[in-house]
Structure 1
Amino acid sequence: MQLGSLRQLTLISFVVVLVPLALLVGYSQIKLSEIGQIATNEAEYSVNTVRRVSKMESLSVDIERLVRQYHIVKKDALKPLIEKSTQRFIDYQIPVCEQLLGKRNCNSLIERINWINQYSGTEDQLLLDAQLAEFKQNLYDLAAQVDLSLDKRIQDQQFYVSSVQQTQFWLTACLLGASFLLIMFGSKAILKPVTRLERIITAMSRQEDTLPVIATSGPKELIVLEQKLYRLAGRLIQLENLRHALLRHASHELKTPLASIKEGCSLLTEQVVGPLNADQKEVLSLLNSSTDRLNLLIVQLLDYNLLLQQAKPVFSRINTEIFIEEFVTENSLAIKQHDNQIDMKIELSTIFADQKLFRRILDNLVSNAIAHGSKGSPIIISLYQKNNMQVLDFANSGKKIAVEQRHVLFQPFSRGEGVRNDRVTGSGLGLSIVADCARMMFGKAEMVEVDYADVCIRVKIPNKEASI
């Protein structure tokens, strides 16, 4: 069945879950009514039976008294009284005997009653005593049989109630289990389209080439939302391509006239076209520094554009000793020019990361430390493991950064307030590239407080190999 909306799916799921519970309540009500009716009927039957037996016992005394009087006085007026008492006795006996399985005592009482009704008063006293004694004994046995019958009915009733309780227990367990399964099924049915949306959003965040196929069934609101997400993903891809193209083309287009300007400045500096006075040389010096700064900005833009195009990191196991040694060797000239020293605290023999991205992090961090750190102060590099995170601390002495400005420095084209040591105006991309590289490796970069340096950039990268 195709459900039109998420509301319908939710309501139907609730109704389906409530069906087993409704069946359980209905069954419980039916059985409770049955037990109540049985208890009422049994109580009424027990009271009536005990009352009839009590009446029979009372009538037996009257019958014996009348028979003995008739035996002594021989008055015919007593005969109708005896017959009336015996008839009332039989009227009470019949309903009692109908519910009993054994009829022996009942038949014996009928025989004694018949003998009493036919008694003429001429029989021997001993025979009369014997018949009346047997009559009493039969009535006593009948009362005992009635007691046993009532006890058995009570036991049967208790057994029935116990069986109903056991059935109720297992039925409750089964129906609650069915309700739980229906709840799981309903939750899965409701969460399935939401999970699809989550997969689409995850694929968009990871810039995957292909997105999950749009669902053809499910709540219409979520299908419409999937379609909007697809359009949004297409728009994001289009904007991303435009941004890359703009950065790439602008950078390359700027380098061509910049090369001509630099060549012209070089010819003027070498005084190929003629001698220069002091003012002209000063202006030419400003032009040379501006072209150098513009060239640096173009290079950094190209580097940032290259970083944005690397959508998926390639993780591998990196030997830290060889890797750090290559990094220090290639940056040794810039480090010596500013009289800095590298203080290594490497606790990890290997790290699991993207080699190019991690190297780009180190290059930008050392460039930032040289540009903004105190000359002659050490640059402290620490690499260690904390829980499941590979932590890189890059610390140096210099001007402390205010807490409210720290997160801003990791945004693109955001520059600090301090003066660079190389007197070059930066582009504000260095720490942004560090943060983006860390983010692409599912980590993060932040500025933290340490007691051994004024500024410390901490990069955390999860060790995904250890979690596999």
Structure 2
Amino acid sequence: MKMRFSSSIRQLTVLGFLLVVLPLMFALISTVFQVDRLAVKMQKTVRDSAQAVEASRLIIAQALSMERSAEQYGVLRDPILLERYQTQRVQLAEAITRLSALPLEQDLSSQIEKLVQREQALHSQLLQWAEQAGNDAQRLDPELKLAEQIRPIPQAVTQMVTDDSASMTKQIERVQRMLLWQVIALVPLALLLAAVFSVLITRPLRNMGKVIRRLGAGDFTSPVIVSGPQDVRELGEQLDWMRERLAELDQQKLRFLQHMSHELKTPLTAIREGSELLCDEVVGELSDEQKEVTTILRENSLQLQAQVEGLLNFNLALAQDKPAQLKTVDLSVLIPEVITKHQLAMRTRSIQVKTNISPVEIQGEPEQLRTVFDNLLSNAIKYSPDGGVIRVELGAENQQVCLDVIDEGAGINTAERQHIFEPFFQGQQLPKGPVKGSGLGLAIAQRYARLHNGKIMALETQQGAHLRACLPQQQSADGNDKRK
């Protein structure tokens, strides 16, 4: 079941962007929230610690002052000292209230409560002294002294600050772990979403590229079916319409070429026969100049007729979907016959052919197989330098026949390698022989190889051109490779 998209590429891109950004935004917002809350807690902890330290300092100072005032009042019985004690007592109460308002530990709260109780006992003692008649000196009971009671308070406050600091450290570590887990979970999720939407967006475009390359290669038979967003499907429909139009134009071109080939064949035959009669001096003896003209006319008519027949053969090959007849062909016999056919052209240019031919038989259409090798050899002869060597190798392995034709010419440019099997294509390299090709030889050879479920390839070589034809040895009655 194929996935269908009603949205366009732009909508799909925006949706993918939002879904990728969403987890990252969640992580960012969560981080800001956690850091803000942690900052508030840290501020409160620092403020409480500062207040606790300040309040404890005031409590200690006031308690010691109150103790001195009480001792002095007991000796001097001066009412001013008692009033000072009352004022210091109010200040101590305020400091204790501020400290008690903070989140204190149990030990510190207990110490503050004991201090309050001892101060109340001390205050009662002073009031008793004030009610007694006389000015006799009184000594303060050691159990009512405040110094012994306030001694543990600084240590308790310090321990409270230390504990708060340790608690904040644990909270910071907890937030760090939580943020780390968010990154570990959300970043891969964002990357996964990005990868998914990247595939959803680029896969239809890659398929579109394959379709365009297929159309560029001349395959107009397969319908264009492109899935994906709506605008891509609409573009696929337009490409399919263009494919149908190109197929119609291609058929019109083939019909035109076939018609023109047949129309040209009849007058060319008459011209060739007339030139043959003139060369044979049937109509009378010719002068040397006239013989030269008739020879030129005869050779060019033969060349033009060969090109027209090649065009006819190419049209016939395009109309076929399998070989017309299958026979067992001995390539070790057929190839020397083709080489012998070209001996005159090779002898004229001092070109040698070195062969390494293994006994190989193949099922196929004899004339088409002959044309495949004939065109490969003709191409090698045309581009070989004078005095060059052409190597022909034939072998079979795993029910696959490979025929290699290697020349010592200028070779095939990398840019032209993928075009040499296209009809009427002629590269920048000019042939060495006097006859210029029509650009159909390799196209016909490739078409015949395809009809036999094979192919011809241009291989890399340091010097010259290396063409290899690979064909299966066995063919079924419907023209398919029996190895399948």
TM-score class normalised by the smaller sequence: 0.7 to 0.9
| TM-aligned CA deviation for residue 159 of structure 1 | 0.8
Q: 1:75 to 1:393 in 2, by over 3 A?
A: same
Counterpart residue identity of residue 246, structure 1: F
Q: Which moved more, 1:121-130 or 1:192-201?
A: 121-130
Contact 1:335–1:341 (8 Å) recurs in 2: no
| TM-aligned CA deviation for residue 364 of structure 1 | 1.3
Q: How many residues align?
A: 429
1:171 aligns with 182
Contact 1:380–1:394 (8 Å) recurs in 2: yes
Contact 1:200–1:211 (8 Å) recurs in 2: no
- CA-to-partner distance for each residue in 1:253-287, whole Å, 9 max, x for gaps? 4445666777788899999xxx7422499698777
2:248 aligns with 238
Q: Is residue 2:84 matched to residue 1:78?
A: no
2:121 aligns with 115
- CA-to-partner distance for each residue in 1:398-453, whole Å, 9 max, x for gaps? xx7999xx999987275947554xxx675453356568889997875489773xxx
Q: How does 1:366-385 map to 2 (within 5 A)?
A: 366-370=377-381, 378-381=389-392
2:223 aligns with 211
1:278 aligns with 285
2:332 aligns with 325
1:185 aligns with 196
Q: 1:449 to 1:430 in 2, by over 3 A?
A: farther
Counterpart residue identity of residue 207, structure 1: D
Structure 2: state its 5+ residue gaps: 324-328, 396-401, 472-484
| TM-aligned CA deviation for residue 192 of structure 1 | 3.4
Across the aligned residues of Structure 1 and Structure 2, the Cα RMSD in angstroms comes to 4.8
Aligned counterparts of 1:74 and 1:114: Cα–Cα separation in 2: 19
1:114 match: secondary structure:
helix
- CA-to-partner distance for each residue in 1:153-210, whole Å, 9 max, x for gaps? 1111111111111111111222222221221232123213313312422442361632
- Aligned mate of 2:142, from 129, 144, 149: 129
Q: 1:152 to 1:35 in 2, by over 3 A?
A: same
Contact 2:224–2:237 (8 Å) recurs in 1: no
1:153 aligns with 164
Aligned counterparts of 1:312 and 1:207: Cα–Cα separation in 2: 17
Aligned counterparts of 1:42 and 1:297: Cα–Cα separation in 2: 99
1:118 match: secondary structure:
helix
1:458 aligns with 466
Contact 2:376–2:405 (8 Å) recurs in 1: no
| TM-aligned CA deviation for residue 149 of structure 1 | 1.5
Counterpart residue identity of residue 465, structure 2: I
1:278 match: secondary structure:
coil
Q: Which moved more, 1:181-190 or 1:203-212?
A: 203-212
Q: 1:97 to 1:460 in 2, by over 3 A?
A: farther
Q: Which moved more, 1:280-289 or 1:109-118?
A: 280-289
Contact 2:372–2:444 (8 Å) recurs in 1: yes
Q: Percent identity?
A: 21
| TM-aligned CA deviation for residue 371 of structure 1 | 6.0
Contact 1:9–1:190 (8 Å) recurs in 2: yes
Aligned counterparts of 1:137 and 1:363: Cα–Cα separation in 2: 122
2:154 aligns with 143
Q: 1:460 to 1:167 in 2, by over 3 A?
A: farther
Contact 1:380–1:396 (8 Å) recurs in 2: no
| TM-aligned CA deviation for residue 88 of structure 1 | 1.9
Structure 1: state its 5+ residue gaps: 314-321, 385-389, 451-455, 464-468
| TM-aligned CA deviation for residue 41 of structure 1 | 1.7
Aligned counterparts of 1:46 and 1:447: Cα–Cα separation in 2: 82
Aligned counterparts of 1:68 and 1:257: Cα–Cα separation in 2: 148
Q: 1:268 to 1:148 in 2, by over 3 A?
A: closer
Q: Is residue 2:40 matched to residue 1:44?
A: no
Q: 1:153 to 1:64 in 2, by over 3 A?
A: same
| TM-aligned CA deviation for residue 76 of structure 1 | 3.9
1:394 aligns with 406
Counterpart residue identity of residue 70, structure 2: V
Contact 1:414–1:429 (8 Å) recurs in 2: no
Q: How does 1:310-321 map to 2 (within 5 A)?
A: none
Contact 2:382–2:432 (8 Å) recurs in 1: no
2:480 aligns with none
- CA-to-partner distance for each residue in 1:337-370, whole Å, 9 max, x for gaps? 45464213689x99xxxx9998755321322455
Contact 1:383–1:393 (8 Å) recurs in 2: no
Counterpart residue identity of residue 457, structure 1: A
Contact 2:392–2:403 (8 Å) recurs in 1: no
Q: 1:447 to 1:194 in 2, by over 3 A?
A: closer
Q: 1:332 to 1:360 in 2, by over 3 A?
A: closer
Q: Which moved more, 1:150-159 or 1:190-199?
A: 190-199
Contact 1:443–1:459 (8 Å) recurs in 2: yes
2:151 match: secondary structure:
helix
Aligned counterparts of 2:205 and 2:139: Cα–Cα separation in 1: 101
Contact 1:197–1:226 (8 Å) recurs in 2: yes
Contact 2:52–2:99 (8 Å) recurs in 1: yes
Aligned counterparts of 1:52 and 1:425: Cα–Cα separation in 2: 111
Contact 1:364–1:430 (8 Å) recurs in 2: yes
Counterpart residue identity of residue 144, structure 1: Q
Contact 1:56–1:89 (8 Å) recurs in 2: yes
1:211 match: secondary structure:
coil
Contact 2:62–2:92 (8 Å) recurs in 1: yes
Counterpart residue identity of residue 14, structure 2: L
Q: Is residue 2:65 matched to residue 1:62?
A: yes
1:22 aligns with 25
Q: Is residue 2:261 matched to residue 1:251?
A: yes
Aligned counterparts of 2:403 and 2:271: Cα–Cα separation in 1: 44
Aligned counterparts of 2:322 and 2:368: Cα–Cα separation in 1: 11
- CA-to-partner distance for each residue in 1:99-134, whole Å, 9 max, x for gaps? 2232322221122011111003489978712321xx
Aligned counterparts of 1:372 and 1:15: Cα–Cα separation in 2: 61
Aligned counterparts of 1:459 and 1:417: Cα–Cα separation in 2: 16
1:331 match: secondary structure:
helix
| TM-aligned CA deviation for residue 52 of structure 1 | 0.9
Q: Is residue 2:99 matched to residue 1:91?
A: no
Aligned counterparts of 1:334 and 1:214: Cα–Cα separation in 2: 51
Aligned counterparts of 1:36 and 1:402: Cα–Cα separation in 2: 73
2:326 aligns with none
Aligned counterparts of 1:231 and 1:32: Cα–Cα separation in 2: 60
